[in-house]
Structures are given as C-alpha cells and as structure tokens.
Amino acid sequence: MVSELINANPVVYEKKERRVRSAPSRADEYAVEAIDQLEIFDHLRDIKDPEHPYSLEELKVITEDAIEVDDSNSYVRVTFTPTVEHCSMATIIGLCLRVKLMRSLPSRYKVDIRIAPGSHATEAAVNKQLNDKERVAAALENPNLVDMVDECLAPTNGLAG
C-alpha cells in the first residue's frame, strides 16, 4: 500500500446541487424513461476517491459533462480526470466507474471508460486496460481489488447509495 499519498492536497470542489426530477405526467406513467447523462452521473458522483475522503464529484474527477450517453443505442462513455498526472490510482478509479455502471445499468449497455486526453502520463496504457473486458474480469476475481472497489462504492453515512 502507498505510505505517502500521491496527491496530499487535492483541490476540493463544491458539490453540484442535486436536481429533483419532476414526477412523470399521467400520459407516460408506464413509459420507460430513457437513461440520460444525469442518471449516469447520479450513479457515479458519490463514488469515493480511493485515497481521499472525498467523492469523485467533489474532486472533479468526473463531471456531468464528461458523460456521453445514447440510450437508444445502449451506449455510454465516461471520461474521467485523475487529480494528478501520475496518479497510480487511475486504474482503480476507472475500475470503480466500470463496476458501478455494471451493477446499475441494464445488461444491454456498452460502456467505454477513458481518461481525459492529456491528463495522465500513461493514459493510453490505462485506457487499454480499462477497456479490455478479459483483464477487467480477471481483476475482479482478485479479492483484494474487489474489496478496494467495494470500499469506494460503499455509500457514506447519510447519503443515498
């Protein structure tokens, strides 16, 4: 385990106000709502950073704008920005994003995760790992890694999961 934090003093941003969705009108009571950018962001915003007691939203590791979703084609791409260029936690963060979406979205969804271009020293290498389904599957059979991911995904007291 790292004894020294890679980024001891991250910039912490204010959380965005959560928009309350209006109740569906009578006409579309039975309609299935398309999954949109906000819904994906809601799944991801509270994921805890592996190193700091802040959420990915608070550290601006993910933002609503960095989510591209096309529900009719069951596709989502999440771009995330690690807090520092040499962040070795980048792979863990990417894995957390993938796992959360895997557990939250319908199985028809195709998910691409990538690091914001220019924000990381080895982004091509990290992106390749994060998008190699077999590597991800093997990693998720590693109990230590799964524990780390579950820690990050665990809801903090008082917040909805």
Partner 1 sequence: MESHDGEWSLKELQKLEGHADRVWSVAWNPATGAAGVPAMLASCSGDKTVRVWEQNPSSSSWSCKAVLDETHTRTVRSCAWSPSGKLLATGSFDATTAIWENVGGDFECVSTLEGHENEVKSVCWNASGSLLATCGRDRSVWIWEVLPGNEFECASVLQGHTQDVKMVQWHPTMDILFSCSYDNTIKIWAEDGDDDWHCVQTISEANGGHTSTVWALSFNTAGDKMVTCSDDLTIKIWETDSRKMMSGDGYAPWSHLCTLSGYHDRTIFSVHWSREGIIATGAADDAIRFFVESKDGSVDGPSHKMILRNEKAHDMDVNSVRWSPGENRFLASASDDGMVKIWELVPVIG
SS (H, E, C) 16-84: CCCCCCCCCCHHHCCCCCCCCHHHHHHHHCCCECCCCCCECCCCCCCCHHHEEEEHHHCEEEEEECCCC
Residues 93, 80: Cα–Cα separation, whole Å: 9
CB of 133 to partner 1, least distance (A): 7
* Residue 52 or 98 with smaller CB distance to partner 1: 98
Residues 113, 105: Cα–Cα separation, whole Å: 14
CB of 119 to partner 1, least distance (A): 21
SS3 content of the chain, % helix, strand, coil (to 5): 35, 10, 55
CB of 134 to partner 1, least distance (A): 7
- By CB under 8 A, is residue 108 in contact with partner 1? yes
* Residue 10 or 94 with smaller CB distance to partner 1: 94
* Residue 107 or 157 with smaller CB distance to partner 1: 107
Instruction: Output DSSP code: residue 126.
Output: H
Q: Name which of residues 113 to 142 contact partner 1 (CB under 8 A).
A: 128, 131-135, 137-138, 141
Give how many residues touch partner 1 by CB under 8 A. Answer: 12
- By CB under 8 A, is residue 107 in contact with partner 1? yes
Per-residue tokens: 153 = 């995904």
* Residue 18 or 110 with smaller CB distance to partner 1: 110
Q: Would you tell me which residues interact with partner 1 (CB under 8 A)?
A: 107-108, 110, 128, 131-135, 137-138, 141
